[in-house]
Structure 1
């Protein structure tokens, strides 16, 4: 892959993230950060896939983790929740082509498929469907993992502290 194409993909990932940010009506102060996160996550995915030969699922997970980590930093600087940054930035990595191939395969299987090509169509449909499933799981996990790791206390401790605080203030 040429470096010009690489830079072009970086720009398009960022613009796609920015487009989803506009659709979700995020604050204007977050736009530049969302653009940079979308570009960084997309480029991480492209780098790992094309230059290191990593599978699309693992490359997507790495890109989503990059977005998740940057979103925590941006959330502190811009005073907005991390999801405001991470969701628009991660949406351009949703596996549209695999979902399209899966749907085409399902439509072929619901019609009349010649017996000699039935197994191939079924195999391709299942393969595309599983890729969609695992890529979506990678996106969700990649965004959530940094937020879970950097959270200072669990919800369980927050609830216990509230109960203890109420008992101390009443007594």
Structure 2
């Protein structure tokens, strides 16, 4: 095999390998970032900062661009969709234990996979019902006692549950 052909073959193989794995640089870049005024929801196109309640952000594998959502409900509608579910690398939600409902603080994002969620509360987000997200179970239960709803972990959430939330 010629040296030139060998170099081309190795370059192609390295390129394919890079498509399958996230690099340390890609993973380090995947963190929640501030939602700027005028930014639109990745799912519905609404202006994110115009609405109350927790917001969400996620990254797809191998991508350094964040997808931002006007509500946790919209984020989970995208994340749980079978077309996208396998490709989500990281996801973030506001910790409503330390953030004001009407204007969530951009410094209070937590890992969505470790959060606790209250579904069916009286509190509304963009487009109505949303998932109230919390970093700890105790605070989520206290919120639930005051505002109603049921408690879920990330792994318990599914599209059927979201569709039962109504609008």
TM-score range relative to shorter protein = under 0.3
Higher strand proportion:
2
Bigger radius of gyration, 1 or 2? 1
Higher helix proportion:
1
Instruction: Choose between structure 1 and 2 for higher RCO, CA contacts under 8 A separated by at least 6 residues.
Output: 1
